[in-house]
Amino acid sequence: MSNNFHALTVDRLGAWIARGSVEPGQSLKVEAALGEEFGVSRTVIREAIKTLVAKGMLEVGPKVGTRVLPVRSWNLFDPQVVGWLAANGLPESFVMDLLDLRRAIEPMAVRWACERATPAQIVEIQAAYRQLAACVADKGDYNQADQRFHEVVLAASHNQFIEQMLPALSALLAISFEVSSGVPGELGRTLPLHKELADAIAGRDAARGVWACMSLIENACDVISRSMNKP
């Protein structure tokens, strides 16, 4: 029960901070007052604060108390932190930095996938593409299918650092897909590029795979820019 209280309090307190309830540089209320506000004991609040310190959101000092750090200090590779930020609508600069991260990681991961994917992974990537196509046809959960497709492609890179980053990358990718998929007709337009990517990995064609990957990213960048700059 105490673990549930802890997890729930971390989630509520983290989301509360991400909403801007306390500005970066400002201090939180004392633990007793926070506990009263969140309906939990001072001990639960103290443990939740320790967790958020570990996530880079808070710092604790003898003179400043518990202070909120700027977003640039937060662990943006923590899926929970990303989720809290995304729930409040992300600034364009954050999404554009995310696209830069995709440009830096995904094309090379695709090149490695073309070279290193196992036969079983090739089958898995093709199956993920078929699921994606089915979601476009019957209006299924495209974002979840798209996320799954990119996850299996990244996993096929057989790079242990990328594999360890998959949970965070998946959370970040979900944001990119969420923003871009809201544009009418966009899903149908990008589906052929996903097929190119899947077929390139199956055919061990790195140049074709990297081209398809970069085309998907640049297309997402264009769509997101237009959607965020609507009057």
| Residue-wise pLDDT tens digits, 64-87 | 789 999 999 999 888 899 889 888
Q: Does 1 have pLDDT greater than 50?
A: no
In which band, very low, low, confident or very high, does the pLDDT at 62 lie, cut at 50, 70 and 90? confident
Question: Quick one: which H or E segment has residue 26?
Answer: none
H or E element that contains 1 = none
- Contact predicate 216/194, CB 8 Å: yes
| More confidently predicted of 79 and 113 | 113
- Residue 227: the pLDDT is 72
CA distance 26 to 57: 12
CA distance linking residue 216 with residue 177, whole number of Å: 11
Hey, what CATH topology would domain 2-73 get? Arc Repressor Mutant, subunit A (1.10.10)
What pLDDT was estimated at residue 184?
Answer: 61
pLDDT, mean of residues 135-164: 86
Same fold yes or no, 2-73 and 90-228: no
Q: Which residue has the higher pLDDT, 2 or 31?
A: 31
How do residues 94-110 score in pLDDT, each as one tens digit? 888 888 988 999 999 99
Question: Which two structure tokens, joined as six digits, stand for 68?
Answer: 């909120």
Question: What is the per-residue pLDDT for 231?
Answer: 53
Q: Which residue has the tokens 């909403």?
A: 19
Closest CA to 125 of 99, 151, 158: 151
User: Of the candidates 17, 202, 177, which has an alpha carbon nearest to the alpha carbon of residue 117?
Assistant: 202
Do 85 and 72 meet the contact criterion of CB atoms below 8 Å apart?
Answer: no
Chain centre to alpha carbon of residue 64: 32
Residue 21 is given by DSSP the state: S
d(CA 27, CA 32): 14
* Lowest mean pLDDT, pick from 85-89, 112-116, 148-152, 195-199: 85-89
CATH code assigned to 90-228: 1.20.120.530
Is 44 in contact with 31 (CB distance < 8 Å)? no
Domain residue limits, the chain: 2-73, 90-228
- How many Å apart are CA 209 and CA 196, to the nearest integer? 7
**What stretches of the chain adopt beta strand conformation (E)?**
58-61, 65-68
Does the model's pTM come out above 0.85? no
**Closest Cα to residue 190, out of 155, 229, 217, 163?**
217
